[in-house]
Structure 1
């Protein structure tokens, strides 16, 4: 059975640009899929299709067991969406924003008031509930926007780069809210450019670039694709580079790398901390003084660079969608 979010062969073009080029996704119920890639990769277009805001040129999409193309209104009743920019009315208070959304979902005035109060407390906005939203900080607006997306406790959530522009403290707070949602059974598709965010929150990750899914798996599985551990060291004197390289090649499991200008050497290894201790002893015995040494493991940044040839964050914008589902 397909998961709570399922897509097969999604294709969408904007002129000569293929925003989606045969995207397949499958997100099991109660899990988080991290859709990872740079701006312009197709992440936002995928979210727009799955949330009924955009018609694909071809392909299939099912959300919460409902065909997105055949029954868009039913899909909308089962999802929440938090976009890249906080969609709040600046001239309403936080409480009024949430009550308005609740009324749009046809909650009674009494239930709308109750639900707004619950969400304001849950998202730590109680003290600012009766202030106009234009006085809120960026982090507060993001929390209010997320609260609005949860007015009816949807079983499926879409978050499109929810922490973009937030400072580290607000990002951490939002991560904690997201983890609480998933612990409560919510299924989440999360798009992000932040590799640490995907590593922290996602059960599975799809790396997307130029409209295509180029890799998928858990964080550990993707990291394993780039190789295992490596030893990195910085010698104190440049003339010791050759000796240090000779020592490392004796312990390494592949070709090493030397950076002359930084006096840094790197070599892939297998053996963990025990091997690192042996390397240090051998360097000491050979009279090589070091400024820094460490055992490093691959990061998602390493994964992305190895897969695409560039870092995860670029400035290219994704095509703006103009077509909306009727």
Structure 2
């Protein structure tokens, strides 16, 4: 009976998505930004140091880290000044150099969409202006942190909405700031909007295409953190971001994986994620995501509900979270639980 019910739900989802989006989904369809950082061709052709620079498309974060470790401060500065967009987005490059490179790239862009990101004092760990724009920002002292968390957002997020003022706790910056304020000293949080997210409710949101591209970028990003000697992260994944995390789970090197308001992780259960991380799930009863059929058929839908007992994730209390973007609201049980997980209290 359960299998029959899931099949009916899958057919209904497929019919709804095909019929309900056929007239307009193509207008919202996004093309994932992939590949090496902007300016990589000029970087690769530059012989200013008299040696070959690491290929942004092929070099691993570990190889990038070793290359920069062999440079002096003056040589690093030369590369920053000549290629800020590459240095700022090159996983494995030193944190402090990336901050300075992205600040330089943002100041030079003169694009009003990124004006707030260019404000003095912000620690921008990644900035890619292509498409709708992608960004990552650090809250706290990442270099000295004993605990590191990464927040992965869901749909309708880009560099322009990264820290929008409405629905604050559904934005990567808002979620990361709130978690950082709730945790104690020695903790840093990264708001990572480093992939092309779906826009609105359409085929992009119902399929895993953008999530697959995002998963590749997220695993490379966390590999860059590891290459720079930072602690293994706790990764928090909101909404469609949990689809990204589900596909990336086996390669994240995370201690804990926390999903909230999830439409599914493209796995039947925790074992299907192929990760050694502890897996946690939060879902408030008032979250509209609860009405989404947790099925996958013909590439539509994202599978089992991580908050369902049969999935096998540890449940995070979220009774007072209120809606789809209430999980990081100060004073909620969910935020307190997130902070405890981030600080390792559950281990």
Pairwise TM-score range, normalised by the shorter structure: under 0.3
Instruction: Give TM-score, length-normalised by structure 2.
Output: 0.26
Instruction: Give the strand-richer structure, 1 or 2.
Output: 1
Instruction: Give TM-score, length-normalised by structure 1.
Output: 0.28
Q: Specify which structure has the bigger relative contact order, considering alpha-carbon pairs within 8 angstroms and separated by 6 or more residues.
A: 1
